[in-house]
Each structure stands twice: as C-alpha cells, then as structure tokens.
Structure 1
Amino acid sequence: MVTTQIEPGTNVVTIEVGGDLGADEMAACRRTLEEVEAEHGSLRLLARYGDVDLTRIAPRAYLEDLENVPLVRHVERCAIVAHQRWVRAVSELGGRIVPGELRTFDRGETDAARAWLLS
C-alpha cells in the first residue's frame, strides 16, 4: 500500500508505505508529486514506513519507483519515519545523492519529523 496526502496550500506531501506495494499505487504517488511540484516548484516529503514485505512488492512497482528519479532534484526536504533500521540506513545512504536535506526519524517521532519538515 502506498498512499499520499497533500497538506493544503503547501508543497508538503505525506507518503504512507506499508504492506504490499503495487505498480498502480506507485504511479499514483508519482502523479501526486508531479502535481505538487508543478504548482509549487519544489517538494517537501514526509515518508512514513510501516511494515514492508519485500517479497510482496510487485516487480512493476520497482520500475514505477524509478520513474520518480527526475523528481529528486525538486525535493527541498525529506523526512523518513520508520522503525526499521534498514529503511533508515538505506534512506541516509540515498540522502547523499539527494540535493535537498534528508533526515531520518524513528516511528514515534512523526511530530518531530513534521516540525523539521515545516521549519
């Protein structure tokens, strides 16, 4: 499952990730990000990861996710909220190639992540 929610009037998009991940959900997420970027010129992302079963990710979902790469240059800030250490570690590694700021937070730190994102 991948869902998105736009904070009205802002460039902040919350992305919830958990369970099975399908290609259609990934494509819908990308369309939302493209819309917000077109309207505001940049993105601030709050990505919250629940339990993700890597064996239940549709192969096409990986390809759809790669379609997001051009959007990376428009990310001002990205807050990753996850309880899994591997998700935070991979995110921090990826943060080295993202031109904007990226920080990781533990699952219980969603409010702190949102505050940092909006500061």
Structure 2
Amino acid sequence: MIDIVKRSGIDNTLGMYTAGKLTHDDYTRIIPVIEKMIEKHGRIRLVVNMEKYDGIELRALFDDLKFDIAHWRSYEKVAIVGHKKWQKQMTKISNLIMNGELRYFDQSDIEEAWIWAASIDAA
C-alpha cells in the first residue's frame, strides 16, 4: 500500500507512506499524482516513509523502474525515512546512480526529512 501524504503549506514536496507489499495497483494510483507534481514544479521532491514497507511485487517493481527511467531527470530530492540497516544502505547505493539527491533519515527524524526535502537550495 502507498498512501499520499501532503503537508499544509508545502506544495513542492509529496510524501508517500508505504506499508506491506507494494502492488501494481499502488503504482497505478500513485504515478498520475507524481506526474502532476512534475508537471506543476518541473522536478519532484519526495519523502518516502518506509516504516512498514514489506517488499514489492514483480509487476510493481517493473512499474517503478519504467517510471524512474521515463522521469530520470525529474527527481530533485528524495528523503527515504526508515529504521532498517538495509534501507540506509540502499539509499547510499541509489544515490550514486540517481539523478537528484537522495538522503536517508531515521524514523525519529521524519520532520527533518520533510524540512530537507522541501527546502530550496540557494544557487
């Protein structure tokens, strides 16, 4: 399951709460929402809460990869929020190959994750 999380006063950042095993239906619901954010802001900022994440179905993984390839340059900041060592390691590895900035935050630092993802860096 993926639920959309929006914060009052923060319209440039989209939150996603993941729980259980992610499915194709989850991606069918979430992809149009993300595409609208990209259309509105040019690039996407995400806060992905993986507190109760328990894997992904093969078809959903394909949906995710297909979207990521199509929107490779659309990612600006992605905050991964979790509590497992593998989530932190996955974030470090993904940051090496991802266009945009990816950062891991412990579950207790979720507010910091939102602040970081929504902040506009000075050029």
Report the TM range for the smaller structure's normalisation: 0.7 to 0.9
Aligned-residue CA RMSD (Å):
1.7
Query: Closer, same or farther in 2 for the Cα pair 1:25/1:83, shift >3 Å?
Result: same
Task: Compare 88-97 and 2-11 and name the one that shifted more.
Answer: 2-11
Residue 2 of structure 2 aligns with an amino acid whose one-letter code is V
Partner of 1:30: 31
After the TM superposition, which residues 53-92 of structure 1 pair with which residues of structure 2 at under 5 Å, given as runs? 53-54=54-55, 57-69=56-68, 70-92=70-92
Q: TM-score, normalization: structure 1?
A: 0.87
1:21-68 CA distance string (max 9 Å, x none): 1111022211111111011111111011022223xx332111111122
- SS of the counterpart of 2:96? coil
Assess, with a 3 A threshold, how the Cα gap between structure 1 residues 9 and 90 changes in structure 2: closer, same or farther: closer
Identity, % of aligned pairs? 28
- TM-score, normalised to structure 2, is 0.84
Aligned residues: 117
Unaligned runs of 5+ in 1: none
In 2, Cα distance between equivalents of 1:5 and 1:71: 21
Within 2, Cα distance between the matches of 1:99 and 1:22? 25
The answer to which of 1-10 and 106-115 deviates more is 1-10
The SS at the match of 2:11 is coil
3-state secondary structure, aligned to 2:97:
coil
Give the unaligned 5+ runs of structure 2. Answer: none
